[in-house]
Chains A and B, each alone.
Chain A
Amino acid sequence: MRLAMRNRAFLFFSLIMPLAFLFGYAGLFRRFGPEAVPYLLSMVLALTVMGSFWGLSVQLVTFREQGILRRFRVTPVGASAMLASSLISNYFLTLPTIAIEFYISRSVFHMAGLGNLVSVFILVTIGTVTFASLGLIVASVTNTMQETQIINQIIWFVFLFISGATIPFPMLPAMVQKISLFLPATYLVSGLQRAMIDHTNLNSLGSYLASLVGCALIAFIVSAQLFRWEPETKAPRQAKLWVAAAVVPFLLLGIWENFNGDLRSHAVKNMQSIREPYSLERIEH
Chain B
Amino acid sequence: MLSGATIEVTNLTKRYGDVEALRGVSFAVNEGEVFGLLGPNGAGKTSTVEILEGLRTPDSGSVSVCGLDPQSSGAEFKYVIGAALQATALPDKMRVHEALDLFGSFYPQRRGTQELLARFGLEEKRNAFYSQLSGGQKQRLALAMALVNNPRVVFLDEPTAGLDPQVRREIYDIVEELKKEKKTILLTTHYIEEAEKLCDRVAIVDHGKVIALGTPRELKERSGAVTRITVRMAKPETNGALGNLEGVTECRTEADDYLLYSTRVPRTIVALVKHLEEQNNELVSLEISAPSLEDIFLELTGRRLRD
Please give the residue numbers on chain A whose beta carbons come within 8 Å of chain B beta carbons, in ascending order: 2-3, 6-7, 63, 66-68, 70-71, 73-77, 229-230
Contact = CB atoms under 8 A, between A and B. Distances in A.
Interface residues of B, number: 22
Contacts of A6: 93
B106 A76 contact: yes
A76 B78 contact: yes
17 contacts: A7-B93, A67-B87, A67-B89, A68-B90, A68-B91, A70-B85, A73-B54, A74-B55, A74-B78, A75-B78, A75-B103, A75-B106, A76-B74, A76-B75, A76-B106, A76-B107, A229-B55
Nearest to B56: A230
Nearest to B89: A67
B301 interface: no
B48 to A, nearest CB: 15
B79 interface: yes
Interface in B31-59: 53-55
Nearest to A74: B83
Contacts of A3: 91, 93-94
Contacts of B81: 74
B53 to A, nearest CB: 5
A63 B91 contact: yes
Nearest to B104: A75
Given A2-B98, A3-B94, A7-B93, A76 B87 contact: no
Contacts of A7: 93
Interface in B98-117: 98, 103, 106-107
Interface of B is mostly: loop
B88 interface: yes
Contacts of B106: 75-77
B159 to A, nearest CB: 15
Among A71, A73, A75, A229: residue with most chain B CB under 10 A: A75
Contacts of B53: 74
Nearest to A81: B106
Contacts of B55: 70, 73-74, 229-230
Nearest to A63: B91
Contacts of A75: 78, 103, 106-107
Contacts of B74: 76
Nearest to A65: B89
Given A3-B93, A74-B54, A76-B74, 14 more contacts: A2-B98, A3-B91, A6-B93, A67-B89, A68-B89, A68-B90, A68-B91, A70-B85, A71-B88, A74-B55, A74-B85, A75-B103, A76-B75, A76-B107
Contact of B79 (A66, A68, A71, A76): A76
Nearest to B107: A76
A38 to B, nearest CB: 37
A66 B89 contact: yes
Contacts of B103: 75
A164 B83 CA distance: 50
A5 to B, nearest CB: 9
A71 B85 contact: yes
Nearest to A75: B106
A126 B75 CA distance: 31
